[in-house]
Structure 1
Amino acid sequence: MEKNRSNIKTFSPGELEQLLKESGEPRFRARQLHRWLYSDRVGSFEEMTTLSARLRDKLAQHHTLPSCSIASVNSEPTSAAAGATRKYLVRLHDGKAVESVLIPKTDPLTGKGIRSTVCVSVQVGCALDCTFCATAKMGFSRNLTAAEMAEQVYLLADLGAEDPDIPPVTNVVFMGMGEPLQNLDEVMEATQLLSMEGYRFSISQRRITISTVGITPGIRKLAESGLTCKLAVSLHHTRQEQRAAMMPVATTYPLDELREAMHFYSKTAGTPITIVYMLIKGINDDVEDARRLARYCRGFYCKINLIDYNAIINIKFESSEETRRQLFIKTLVDAGYSVTVRRSQGASIDAACGQLALRNNKG
């Protein structure tokens, strides 16, 4: 960061308005500036031609205008296909790096791309130390700003506009590196940026999912925020002691408290919660585990997303076997739950959270 100049993209809309008010500018100038930053996405203040030359000069004297950039990309071996998962190392405003993943969805009949989901990082590293996560090995460096989160999506959406093999970006998940609810204010502002009506990139908040390992105060705050985005909760075990061993955050926010928070969210927001449950061989994947999960989820509006464990992260664990997986699914379906199964994507490109950035940030 250049000495004595601040990053203009760290300012919230209200702060931009106050900044320009102090310069004697009318309120609508803040809206113009915001549009230049996040819709037109210009690279210099000089390009903001609806602002006066005097104001542009003043902004340039006191503020910088950095942008995120793509430093490298890892793709699956079939990277030329529309359905290939692509993982990008994104350089942030201060030079640090995080990962962003583009996951295309293809038509099973034609093989052509239909839409894409961008998986967004919210922190450089993570402080939660989950035993199955590569990001935990990085430790925690800092939170990302709302602009840095939104720019991850902009970058990948722009690539799709240039490459016919990349379907349009229609969905966003805050499920990359870091814990979104430990950086909730910036995540909520990023959600608003990505859903700004009339901006160059704009999607419905209902197509945005915020994921958490179970930070209960954040779940309640999100429920009351007025945002219409979706919530996903990574559960992975329904026994308190075992969950805390896998996810130390469960000691601070135990299962009973988490369940109450999910009840509150479901009732307040009126949308289903996605329960994310990673199947790990011999740890949480037998029929009794499925029955406990079914009992735990009773009473609030939810659907269950089972995911394969990506064994490339940590050889301490193994992926569940197909027979056990199918019995687990049958038990949940018989209990009346909507169940989806997501196969591990991108193991061949180190696409588990944190692996690409872990190597990069060591340098």
Structure 2
Amino acid sequence: MPVLENIKSLSRKELQNLMHDYGEPPFRAGQIHRCLYSDRCTDFQSMTTLSTSLRSRLSEEFVLPACSIEQRQNDRTGGEGGEATRKYLVQLHDGLAVETVLIPSPGRWTVCVSTQVGCPLQCAFCATGTMGFTRNLNAAEIVEQVLLVNDELAENSGKRQVTNVVFMGMGEPLLNLDQVIEAIDTLTCEQYRFHLSRHKITVSTVGLIPAIAKLADSGRNVKLALSLHSADQGKRETMIPSAADNRLPELAGALDYYGRITGTPVTLVYMLLEDINDSRDDALQLARFARRFLCKINLIDYNAIVNIKFKSTGNQRRDTFIQTLLDKGLQVTVRRSQGSSISAACGQLAIRNRPSSNQNA
């Protein structure tokens, strides 16, 4: 018996090609896409905008799987405004899983989505890399993380909904760029019941130069966050092995290009690690790097990870680091860590033991 294809693995363009092969008018592809991601149909027969014959043919040749929430955890310490950061274990179309995080802040509900099962880059400060790499997510699996969390918000409050999306979960988004772009297009489709502005979407990367240029040229104009963590090439390579092939001078050029093409300043994310990248000289190196393009600097604390031995910077060294950057005229924000008690903070996402049934923490 032949294995049926997952219809959600098809891009808009591939749906158009399929309708062409079927002898159907091109607009049918748009109808199917709307049924999948706006109407959220769970079977082909409920796609009533399609003809009966087309629905029958689709059901004979394709399956229509859906992601689901397998586990929920709340950060008991609470987030900004008293709301709890929430982590979800999301089962994908083939039974594998990723972690997705809901980050609350005043007037904002941000979903941090994963783009890969595991990650191949093995950054020294990140737990996800210890999982190894299994596969990329398809665009539907990325989108469904957002929609599932949005469902939870609506169910719990009646009115709240996701306001922002950050591609900062498990995996390197730019290693899965085509699917990330496809997901962005779906999440920002104004004709769909749930949609966001592109200005509410941020893509994070450790700095893959060709892909940064490709994202800039795509015309999506989403925000870009670079995990920098050191403006010293040697130090950066010890933390981020892929930095050896994406050196700082060329990276600065790519970030400058991104800012000029999109008109959006790049965010430099810098994790302060005690006695590694938190000296005044480190701050001066960061200032010299940051002056080369339009950007803002986001300082974050290191979040403890099992078997990864770093320490977060003390208050005095952090204050000196910040003041050094401010003295150089740079825009600096300090991001408070959220979700660390449930291993949901930056760098902590990694699936170790999957539960046998849903558990609410």
- TM-score scaled by length of structure 1: 0.94
CA deviation string 1:293-321 (max 9, x = no partner): 00111131100000000023545100000
Matched, 1:320 2:299: no
Counterpart residue number, 1:306: 299
Tell me the residue number matched to 2:336: 343
* CA–CA separation in structure 2 for the residues paired with 1:358 and 1:125: 11
Structure 1 CA distance for aligned equivalents of residues 89 and 168 of structure 2: 15
> Which whole-Å deviations, capped at 9, do the CAs of 1:54-100 have from their partners, x for residues lacking one?
11110000000001000001111156985210000000000000010
1:357 aligns with one of 339, 342, 351: 351
Judge conservation of contact 1:103–1:118 (CA < 8 Å) in 2: yes
Q: 2:217 — aligned with what?
A: 224
Residue type of the partner of 2:135? R
Asked if the contact 2:77/2:341 (under 8 Å) is kept, the reply is: no
Structure 2 Cα separation of the partners of residues 129 and 356 of structure 1? 12
Q: Which one has more relative contact order, counting CA pairs under 8 Å at least 6 apart?
A: 2
Match of 1:24?
Answer: 23
Distance 2:45 2:209 in 1: 45
- Rounded to whole Å, the distance in 1 between the matches of 2:131 and 2:151 is 29
Q: Could you list the per-position Cα deviations for residues 253-312 of structure 1 after superposition, in whole angstroms to 9, with x for gaps in the alignment?
A: 111121111111112221100000000011111111111100111131100000000023
> Contact 1:104/1:167 (CA < 8 Å) preserved in 2?
no
Residue 53 (structure 1) aligns with: 52
Contact 2:128/2:350 (CA < 8 Å) preserved in 1?
A: no
Cα separation, 2, equivalents of 1:359 and 1:79: 24
Q: Which amino acid aligns with 2:177?
A: L
Shift of 1:327: 1.1
Q: Is the 8 A contact 1:128 1:249 kept in 2?
A: yes
> Does 1:95 pair with 2:88?
no
Give the partner amino acid of 1:343. R
For 2:136 and 2:3, locate their aligned partners in 1 and report how far apart those are by CA, in whole Å. 22
Number of residue equivalences: 354
2-structure distance, mates of 1:313, 1:200: 41
- Aligned pairs for 1:148-297 within 5 A: 148-164=141-157, 167-297=160-290
Residue 43 of structure 1 and its aligned partner are, at CA, apart by 0.5
2:122 to 129, 132, 138: 129
Shift of 1:166: 8.8
Amino acid at match of 1:100: T
For 2:151, give the aligned amino acid: D
- Residues of 2 paired with 1:219 and 1:162: CA distance? 37
- Superposed CA offset, 1:217-238 (max 9, x none): 0001111111121100000011
- Counterpart CA distance in 2 for 1:151 and 1:11 is 15
SS at match of 1:358: coil
Contact 1:89 1:356 in 2 (8 A): no
* Residue in structure 2 matched with residue 111 of structure 1 by the alignment: none
* Contact 2:127 2:305 (8 Å CA) reproduced: no
- CA shift at 1:326, angstroms? 1.0
Do the aligned partners of 1:278 and 1:306 also contact (CA within 8 Å) in 2?
Answer: yes
- Asked if structure 2 preserves the Cα contact closer than 8 Å seen for 1:280 and 1:319, the reply is yes
Q: Counterpart of 2:154 in structure 1: which amino acid?
A: A
* Paired AA for residue 49 in structure 2: T
Is the 1:115–1:167 contact (alpha carbons within 8 Å) kept by the matching residues of 2? no
More deviation, 249-258/175-184: 249-258
Q: Letter of the 1:93 partner, please give it.
A: H
Taking the aligned partners of 1:341 and 1:125, their CA distance within structure 2 comes to 28
Contact 1:82 1:165 (8 Å CA) reproduced: no
CA 1:315–1:142: 2 relative to 1, 3 Å: closer
Deviation at 1:168, TM superposition (A): 2.3
Q: How far apart are the structure 1 equivalents of 2:351 and 2:2?
A: 27
Q: Which residue of 1 aligns with 2:359?
A: none
Q: Give 2:95's aligned amino acid.
A: G
* 2:105 matched residue in structure 1: 105
Gaps spanning 5+ residues in structure 2: where? 356-361
**Unmatched 5+ stretches in structure 1:** 107-113
Letter in 1 for 2:351: A
Distance in structure 1 (CA, Å) of the matches to 2:34 and 2:341:
39
Identity over aligned pairs, percent? 55
- Classify 1:164/1:79 alpha carbon distance in 2 versus 1 (closer, same or farther; 3 Å): farther
Equivalences for residues 134-149 of structure 1 within 5 A: 134-149=127-142
Partner of 2:84: 84
Q: Tell whether the 8 Å contact from 1:87 to 1:100 is kept in structure 2 after alignment.
A: yes
CA contact (8 A) 1:82 1:166 kept: no
Q: How far off is 1:360 after superposition?
A: 2.8
Q: Which moved more, 1:335-344 or 1:231-240?
A: 335-344
Question: Residue 168 of structure 1 aligns to which amino acid in structure 2?
Answer: Q
The one-letter code matched in structure 1 to 2:314 is: E
* 1:340 partner SS: strand
Q: 1:130–1:247: 8 Å Cα contact kept in structure 2?
A: yes
Distance of 1:317 and 1:124 partners within structure 2? 25
